[in-house]
Amino acid sequence: MATWTRTLTRPDGQSFRFDPGSFAMELLVSGGPGELRVFEALHRPDDLAAWLVDSRLAATAPFTAADVRVTEAELVAVKRLRDAFWGVARAMVRGADLPAEGLEVLNAATAETPRPVVDPRTRALTWARPITGTQVLGAAARDAVELVAHGGVRACSAADCGLLFVDASRAGNRRWCSMERCGNRHKVRAHRARHETEPAAAQ
Ligand SMILES: [Zn+2]
């Protein structure tokens, strides 16, 4: 089974692969409210079209940015949904009450999704063209409301990370956004801590 990863670059310059685990979680990586604005990747409608080509919507069938039609208003709606879901998802991982306003934004956006159709010649599954911004909004919203209902949203165990993901591992024990990033930093810290305590223990 293919895993759909995003390559993220942190403010310290390190790039690493991150599998958010679902489409709505993937959308969270494109930016967000408040301090997450520095990560904003969706400035213009074309940015969303380009971003989608690498998203897990392409797991069903590949498409190009030219197959996507996004208006300014649709881009605003997608970013509003994303930012609302940040608030809901963060409340979920904290075990706090979910923000009612955020849930309203999710619930109001589930109407339309990209339409799967079969190619009559090849029988391959594909998306009806064009894929619209409203359909993208609906795909993210449907995934988000399912996550709210079923749970499974986790935060990376690194205190200074903040990335959220769906744990899709069979064992259900995923701790890190990425082994390359926070998993490795944890190993290095644990190793250092052992070496710092060993000489003390020998005295
Ligand atoms: Zn992390």
Domains and CATH numbers, the chain: 6-202 (1.10.3300.10)
pLDDT at 202 over 60: no
Residue 192 has pLDDT above 60, yes or no: yes
Measured distance CA(103)–CA(94) in Å, rounded: 16
Question: Is the predicted pLDDT of residue 191 greater than 60, yes or no?
Answer: yes
pLDDT score for 198: 64
- Whole-number pLDDT of residue 92: 97
At a CB cut-off of 8 Å and minimum separation 6, what does 66 contact?
49
CA 160 to centroid of ligand 1, rounded, Å:
8
**What pLDDT digit, counting tens, does each position of 28-81 carry?**
999 999 999 999 999 999 999 999 999 999 988 899 999 999 999 999 999 999
- Rounded Cα distance between 133 and 169, Å, is 31
- Check residue 60 and give its pLDDT: 84
Distance CA 28, CA 50 (A): 16
pLDDT band at 1 (very low <50, low <70, confident <90, very high): very low
Q: What pLDDT digit, counting tens, does each position of 121-160 carry?
A: 999 999 999 999 999 999 999 999 999 999 999 999 999 9
The DSSP symbol for 111 reads S
pLDDT of residue 4: 79
Going from the Cα of 167 to the center of ligand 1, the distance in angstroms, rounded, reads 13
Task: Report how far ligand 1's centroid is from the alpha carbon of 14 (Å).
Answer: 12
Residue 42 C-alpha to ligand 1 middle, in angstroms? 22
Ligand 1 mean position, distance from CA 98 (Å): 23
What pLDDT is stored for residue 168 in this prediction?
83
Distance of CA 84 from the midpoint of ligand 1 (Å): 21
Calpha distance 111→73 (Å, rounded): 16
- The Å distance, Cα 176 to ligand 1 centre, comes to 5
| Upper half-sphere CA count for residue 112 (Cβ side, 13 Å) | 12
Q: What's the pLDDT tens digit per position in 74-121? A: 999 999 999 999 999 999 999 999 999 999 999 999 999 999 999 999
125 Cα: distance to centroid of ligand 1 (angstroms): 35
Ligand 1 (ion): residues with CB under 5 Å are 156, 158, 161, 163, 177, 182
Please state the pTM of the whole predicted model.
Answer: 0.90
Q: How far is the CA of 159 from the centre of ligand 1 (A)?
A: 8
- pLDDT at residue number 120: 94
